[in-house]
Chain A
């Protein structure tokens, strides 16, 4: 279990101190895939680096399996890092070593015998589907293949935790999907707890169990992905979930209402029923459905008629229905 307690990080810059993280409280449970999403500059990369202490927090604690990382002597910290692996947006493979030697690297560091290390590396390359590339060099691989090598390397020391810092941000959508699938497989078969840092909602959608939305150096919102997705509380979460250019839509100027459907209501023809009952037309501005844990969730933004009486009728209808709704500003 990873616990972050009142974690803060301030950088000193030429133009004065810059607060990258402020009072972050988070608990990441064993075995889950935890997402941290935010826009660039929100502080998420700093946050993930505070977990393995690549960045030393200015205040607060990082407690991993009951041990306060910030209080560990350096030798202990280095040992602890072997159980917390990390993969990166830029892959960060050793360019002068071949694929097999790259995967062997963390084992070499921890003193595992060469033969044993190569055997383990071979097994891991099989796991990530690159056993035929063992003697290739990173420059000869595609982005997706490089990230697979990085994942194999990260798993070499049998880590308990895997930190993914924008690991799919440099990859195309198809490759992203296959890398995420691989991460999920690793989570399910090896029981590795995975922390995913991303600015893309679709990454969170695809593999995360829980998510924390970070904005302006703080946690804006945290919860199960299905909850945050269907009922985002913070502005930033809404921005991340909804398309950014929604505001540009040419609307008639009516009030806008967000409807959220959970598993029960996503099957029923709610909009049709509402329009028939109220005898008032609505304009659908946005709609999306997602499946979480086998249940369909969706949300939709509709624009009410400019006629206030008709609009009020719809609001009244919604209030009496079981559908979640909220007027948008």
Chain B
């Protein structure tokens, strides 16, 4: 049966709070990651050799930066980026700092997701837009983004789940949420049931994100009859 510790945590609302914090950090971090990652991914796409405005030097520099950050394991990146959080927020503690870390870790990832979604838009449609006299900006806002929308939403779901995973890791540098509960009350105090409850709750959150996201993507996709 469940340990005493679980009832104590539940009665104090700690587990409920952890669920809320996990969702909160994930949503905010995803939003900010897209704020940076979406334009970044779009620039990667536009400046590509086959893009609407090939600019090899921009593409190469951005590509390098993105790959650089993506190749660092998140747990190391977090520790390394603590001074950045201190610089931005004045503190390297708490969920604010965790969100900064998550955004730094996830933006390059999001940029690649966006890039691959936007590259799915057919060259023919872009050519048609060019033949009508569209400016590059019009192609981005009226062709690339709307045509890639279902794929972008699917990508956002994957990114969000990844960010949720990162947020649990952030417990090691003082982040809260289900990761923290699992480590402090489950692992360190040897309550396997609490660890497992955190696992189940995480799985449930991921499932909900996945189902909601996929449904929205399918509903918006007009290619399906």
- Interface, chain A (partner B; CB < 8 A): 52, 54, 77-82, 84-86, 88, 90, 92-98, 105-106, 108-110, 137-140, 150, 157, 163
Q: Contact check, B133 vs A139: say whether CB atoms are below 8 A apart.
A: no
- A90-B124 contact given A82-B133, A85-B131, CB 8 Å threshold: yes
Q: Contact check, A98 vs B222: say whether CB atoms are below 8 A apart.
A: yes
Give the dominant DSSP class at B's interface.
helix
A–B complex contacts, Cβ < 8 Å, 7 sampled: A84-B131, A94-B147, A95-B125, A96-B149, A109-B133, A137-B223, A140-B225
With contacts A54-B130, A81-B133 known, what are 9 further pairs, Cβ within 8 A? A78-B133, A81-B130, A86-B131, A88-B128, A92-B122, A97-B146, A109-B129, A138-B223, A157-B132
Q: Contact check, A79 vs B133: say whether CB atoms are below 8 A apart.
A: yes
B91 interfacial by beta-carbon distance below 8 Å: no
A residues in contact with B224, CB < 8 Å: 139
B residues in contact with A94, CB < 8 Å: 125, 143, 146-147
Q: Contact check, A96 vs B131: say whether CB atoms are below 8 A apart.
A: no
| Cα separation A94 to B129 with both chains bound (whole Å) | 9
Q: Contact check, A139 vs B122: say whether CB atoms are below 8 A apart.
A: no
Q: Contact check, A105 vs B142: say whether CB atoms are below 8 A apart.
A: yes
The minimal Cβ–Cβ distance linking B134 to chain A, given in whole angstroms, is 5
Q: Contact check, B132 vs A105: say whether CB atoms are below 8 A apart.
A: yes
| Cα separation A106 to B225 with both chains bound (whole Å) | 25
A residues in contact with B129, CB < 8 Å: 105, 109
B residues in contact with A139, CB < 8 Å: 222-225
A residues in contact with B130, CB < 8 Å: 54, 81
The minimal Cβ–Cβ distance linking B94 to chain A, given in whole angstroms, is 41
Q: Contact check, A88 vs B225: say whether CB atoms are below 8 A apart.
A: no
Q: Contact check, A52 vs B131: say whether CB atoms are below 8 A apart.
A: yes
| Partner among A54, A79, A96 whose Cβ is within 8 Å of the Cβ of B146 | A96
A residues in contact with B133, CB < 8 Å: 77-82, 106, 109-110
Q: Fill in one digit per residue for B116-127: 1 if any A CB lies within 8 Å of its CB, else 0.
A: 000000101101
Please provide the chain B residues from 27 to 78 with a CB less than 8 Å away from any CB of chain A in the complex: none
B interface, how many residues as a size bin?
Answer: 20 to 34
Q: Contact check, A95 vs B128: say whether CB atoms are below 8 A apart.
A: no
Q: Contact check, A109 vs B125: say whether CB atoms are below 8 A apart.
A: no
Please provide the chain B residues from 85 to 135 with a CB less than 8 Å away from any CB of chain A in the complex: 122, 124-125, 127-135
| Cα separation A82 to B134 with both chains bound (whole Å) | 9
- Interface, chain B (partner A; CB < 8 A): 122, 124-125, 127-135, 138, 142-143, 146-147, 149-150, 220-225
Q: Contact check, A109 vs B132: say whether CB atoms are below 8 A apart.
A: yes
| Partner among A54, A95, A106, A109 whose Cβ is within 8 Å of the Cβ of B222 | A95
Q: Contact check, B142 vs A108: say whether CB atoms are below 8 A apart.
A: yes
B residues in contact with A163, CB < 8 Å: 131
A residues in contact with B142, CB < 8 Å: 105, 108-109
B residues in contact with A137, CB < 8 Å: 222-223
| Cα separation A95 to B132 with both chains bound (whole Å) | 17
Q: Contact check, B147 vs A96: say whether CB atoms are below 8 A apart.
A: yes
| Cα separation A81 to B134 with both chains bound (whole Å) | 9
A residues in contact with B131, CB < 8 Å: 52, 54, 81, 84-86, 163
Q: Which residue among A90, A95, A139 has the maximum number of chain B CB atoms within 10 Å of its CB?
A: A95
| Cα separation A161 to B114 with both chains bound (whole Å) | 37
The minimal Cβ–Cβ distance linking B65 to chain A, given in whole angstroms, is 28
- A88-B222 contact given A81-B133, A82-B132, A157-B132, CB 8 Å threshold: no
Q: Contact check, B134 vs A109: say whether CB atoms are below 8 A apart.
A: yes
Q: Contact check, A95 vs B138: say whether CB atoms are below 8 A apart.
A: no
The minimal Cβ–Cβ distance linking B161 to chain A, given in whole angstroms, is 25
